[in-house]
A and B are shown apart, each in its own frame.
Chain A
Amino acid sequence: MSTVTARPAPPSQDKRWKLVEATIRRHGFQSHSLIECLHTVQESFGYLDEQALRYVASALRVPLSEVFGVATFYHFFTLKPKGEHTCVVCMGTACYIKGAPALLTAVEEKYGVKPGETTADGKLSVLTARCIGSCGLAPAVVLDGDVIGKTGTEDFVNRIEKKVRG
């Protein structure tokens, strides 16, 4: 009945869109691959911007409102670009009772940012995690992808300083 319309082209020539296109194609343009596609976008670009949401929506033929709904429903997806460095403080139960709140306060005070925010110079993003599963090493933090276990406030801030300053 309906005529087959052409699939939309990626928003730009950026090579990273090829990865996104590949994911969309692998799932046969099915609407149920929305979350998988958003994962690929975030993996490739670091976050989901409006342009990406619009592209994915039209490629999968899902209403933009629904794409936005899914992107904001799940904590893993972020609509803001991250800073140069990221530190994630695990707030799981084991980390919580072993001093994670103190770690977070120390970082908040030192850099003047709250969880989910990035410093004004774009150097550091501070995030919290529900549980990174390294409970045996509580309190644990993730600094630029490396898990650091059994840390203390001083050690933690020093490590961040090294990243940000150096």
Chain B
Amino acid sequence: MNHERLLEIATAEKEAQAPFTQTINVCVAAGCLSSGSDKVKEALEKEVAAQGKKECCKVRGVGCMGLCAQGPLVEVKVKDKPQSVMYQNVTAEDAGEVVASVGTEKPVERLVCPTDVPFFTRQKKIVLENSGVIDPDRIEEYVLYDGYTGLLKVLTTMQRSEVIDCITRSGLRGRGGGGFPTGLKWATVAKGRGDRKYVICNADEGDPGAFMDRSVLESDPHRVLEGMAIAGYAVGAQQGYIYCRAEYPLAVKRLKTAIKQAEKNGLLGNNIFGTTFSFSIDIRLGAGAFVCGEETALIHSIQGQRGQPRPRPPFPAERGLWDKPTLINNVETFANVPPIIRNGAEWYAGIGTDKSKGTKVFALAGRIRNTGLIEVPMGITLREIVYDIGGGIPDDRKFKAVQTGGPSGGCIPEQYLDMQVDYDSLMKVGSIMGSGGMIIMDETSCMVDVAKFFMEFCKSESCGKCIPCRVGTSQMYDLLCRITDGRATLEDLVMLEEMCDLLKNTSLCGLGMTAPNPILTTLRYFRNEYTAHIEQKKCLAGVCSNKGALEEVAK
């Protein structure tokens, strides 16, 4: 593989696509697939053949288009027409009508999904630039959209230190949630001793209510491979692992295909682009343990052991997988790397806020009109996300809170809606950026019940190694149960607060340290709901049964 060969692939692909003046893109990412987009695609293909349009019209499966709630989504593109038409809630029965309308001036009105609305216009796509555009199962299409040119650039024109310098200057921070400066992490691993080093891609998206990494892997897997290979070159690693959830079979399948294609084309393996750099990537399956998102637990899991964390330091950057220096980044972090290399650090640093650069992908879900996947520049306000892009709360209900960061994050109330979304502002109000799950809640959600939900999660996901987390989460869950059951006293609330403090300061890993966050933020902003449960035995949202209190009255 060399530059000419890469260009050849791109040209060949362009020529292969040229005869088709009309393309029908069907979303085949998990969201739309579960609404039956595979059947829609099949029906469209049949119709194209039946209506004799096989020579000019091509039906393609593409990655996520974002508006998952309205799936299956279909996009019709006609050459020389700048505006494409998007259809929503398409069924197999609609195929005939859709195919017949292609190339005419009249789209199928009842299925049209308007694309001039904020949901589409307010987004800025870097990580998702190819999602919904290319066929994730074909390396040729990724190459056509400048794929692997970033890897080519670093291998042929840049020193290792220059690559790290570029990532540092771009201001990229870890997208897994912590927000650690990526360049600094790379530099630490690069400095690590020994000739064997590893790169790990953390695709163990265990955070409930988050599906960003899944979408990226399903829609554009080569981007992650390219990012990992660039990282491998920069830090001096020869082997990469993608630690992916077993619950994402489609993502695993597409990754496997992508790895095979990259190997076949000499983009992974020995002497990539004719240089001395060799790098291969393997997949390791997770097995449903949230704690494996923690770096050291993840390493244990790859080594075939129980996913239990160990004290840090030493950090994995010094002693990681099989005690060798190991770089661990999240899927989205790696997905940001190729465009940064291609377009330069300054371009990336020009997007976002002072301390949080670039864009962030969010999975918007819960009580909101436009659920789905969005990518927005850092610094956008929560109000813009909820009301402009998200379309507001359905059924004229009132906004109550937005939950970010999953079980490690917190609930942000209405008063902070105009706050900018970046790592530091979210931290200031007691939540975290997290991996990007964003759950909107309205007045029908009881905040104590939400806190209980997350505590139940942490309790059952606690690995059991350290006592504060193992026993503490269990006790805090019991206390929350007492509250929602109407059996609690004000002393229980004091106890709960003390426990929060204890877990935060004495747990071994991030899971335990951040487990109190949902309670702490709901106590801070919705304390009245706690006291209503305790003093008036009443759930303000009408969710909790308070049956303990009722029983007492009956006695």
**Contact B247 A138, beta carbon cutoff 8 Å:** no
* Cα–Cα distance between A20 and B304 once the two chains are bound (Å): 16
Name the B residues within 8 Å of A92 (CB-CB): 208-209
**Contact B439 A97, beta carbon cutoff 8 Å:** yes
Q: How far is the CB of A98 from chain B (nearest CB, A)?
A: 7
Q: How far is the CB of B253 from chain A (nearest CB, A)?
A: 13
Chain B residues numbered 355-374 whose CB sits less than 8 Å from any CB in chain A: 363, 365-367, 371-373
Say if the beta carbon of A82 comes within 8 Å of chain B: no
**Contact A39 B246, beta carbon cutoff 8 Å:** yes
Say if the beta carbon of B457 comes within 8 Å of chain A: yes
B211 contact from A32, A34, A70, A133, Cβ within 8 A: A133
* Cα–Cα distance between A152 and B208 once the two chains are bound (Å): 20
Name the A residues within 8 Å of B373 (CB-CB): 136
B285 contact from A36, A133, A135, Cβ within 8 A: A36
Name the A residues within 8 Å of B303 (CB-CB): 32
* Cα–Cα distance between A73 and B205 once the two chains are bound (Å): 18
Given A35-B301, A133-B247, A149-B34, A74 and B288 touching (CB < 8 A)? Answer: yes
Chain B residues numbered 166-207 whose CB sits less than 8 Å from any CB in chain A: 205-207
Interface size on A, residues (CB 8 A): 40
Chain B residues numbered 1-58 whose CB sits less than 8 Å from any CB in chain A: 30-31, 33-35
Q: How far is the CB of A56 from chain B (nearest CB, A)?
A: 11
**Contact B210 A39, beta carbon cutoff 8 Å:** no
Given A130-B290, A134-B30, A140-B34, A93 and B214 touching (CB < 8 A)? Answer: no
Interface size on B, residues (CB 8 A): 53
**Contact A34 B247, beta carbon cutoff 8 Å:** no
* Cα–Cα distance between A32 and B444 once the two chains are bound (Å): 47
Say if the beta carbon of A132 comes within 8 Å of chain B: yes
**Contact B371 A94, beta carbon cutoff 8 Å:** yes
Q: How far is the CB of B131 from chain A (nearest CB, A)?
A: 14
Name the A residues within 8 Å of B437 (CB-CB): 93, 135
**Contact A35 B287, beta carbon cutoff 8 Å:** yes
- From A131, which residue of chain B is reached at the shortest CB distance? B208
* Cα–Cα distance between A94 and B209 once the two chains are bound (Å): 6
Name the A residues within 8 Å of B454 (CB-CB): 93
**Contact A131 B209, beta carbon cutoff 8 Å:** yes
**Contact B34 A135, beta carbon cutoff 8 Å:** no
- From A32, which residue of chain B is reached at the shortest CB distance? B304
Say if the beta carbon of A96 comes within 8 Å of chain B: yes
Q: How far is the CB of B38 from chain A (nearest CB, A)?
A: 11
**Contact B305 A130, beta carbon cutoff 8 Å:** no
**Contact B35 A137, beta carbon cutoff 8 Å:** yes
**Contact A33 B306, beta carbon cutoff 8 Å:** no
Q: Which of B207, B248, B287, B367 has the most C-beta atoms of chain A within 10 angstroms of its own C-beta?
A: B287
Given A94-B366, A94-B439, A97-B445, A130 and B246 touching (CB < 8 A)? Answer: no
Given A73-B307, A130-B208, A134-B211, A97 and B289 touching (CB < 8 A)? Answer: no
Q: Which of B206, B208, B290, B444 has the most C-beta atoms of chain A within 10 angstroms of its own C-beta?
A: B208
Say if the beta carbon of A111 comes within 8 Å of chain B: no
A137 contact from B69, B403, B463, Cβ within 8 A: B69
**Contact A77 B287, beta carbon cutoff 8 Å:** yes
Chain B residues numbered 287-322 whose CB sits less than 8 Å from any CB in chain A: 287-290, 301-307
Further contacts, 15 of them, CB under 8 A, given A70-B304, A137-B68:
A36-B285, A39-B287, A75-B288, A93-B208, A93-B437, A94-B366, A97-B450, A129-B247, A131-B206, A133-B30, A135-B68, A136-B363, A137-B31, A137-B371, A146-B34
A residues in contact (CB < 8 Å) with B: 30-36, 38-39, 62, 66, 69-70, 73-77, 91-94, 96-98, 129-138, 140, 146-149
B residues in contact (CB < 8 Å) with A: 30-31, 33-35, 68-69, 71, 205-211, 214, 246-248, 284-290, 301-307, 363, 365-367, 371-373, 403, 406, 437, 439, 441, 444-445, 450, 453-454, 457, 461, 463
Q: List 18 A-B contacts (CB under 8 A).
A: A30-B304, A34-B305, A36-B304, A39-B285, A39-B287, A70-B304, A76-B246, A93-B209, A94-B365, A94-B439, A97-B367, A98-B366, A131-B206, A131-B209, A133-B210, A133-B248, A135-B209, A147-B33
